[in-house]
Amino acid sequence: MIGKLCSFFVLGGNIIRKLLIVGAGDHGRCCLDIIRDLNCYDEISFLDDSCVDKTINDCKVIGGIDKIENCYPEYKDIFIAIGNNELRKKLI
């Protein structure tokens, strides 16, 4: 499974360097642990309304989820890690 995920994060032989995780709750932190184990990113940041300007496991929370559109193209890879189905559907 980990090999398949790492293949997902590698495009054309180039390692993707920046990732934005939307949601810094339990699910987002669990995803962070797995993504770090893959060692595919140099920088990982979060968006989360409840902890803006804080740091989660050495990753900055750079804004609330309303900032998601402003984060592209700096963050071309955005991982939605929100457990609330309705909110997640709105973001996708």
Q: What's the rounded Cα separation, in Å, for the pair 83 and 28?
A: 9
Confidence of residue 4 (pLDDT cuts 50, 70, 90): very low
The token duo for 88 is: 């997640």
3-state secondary structure of 13: coil
2-91: which CATH topology? Rossmann fold (3.40.50)
Q: What is the mean pLDDT of residues 60-74?
A: 94
Domains in the chain: boundaries: 2-91
| Mean pLDDT, the chain, integer | 86
**Residue 10 predicted with pLDDT over 60:** no
**Residue 18 predicted with pLDDT over 70:** yes
Which residue in the block uniquely carries the two structure tokens 């993707």? 16
> What distance, in Å, lies between the first and last C-alpha atoms of the chain?
24
Residue 53, amino acid: D
Q: What is the pTM of this model?
A: 0.80
The alpha helices in 1-92, defined as continuous H runs, are 2-9, 26-38, 85-91
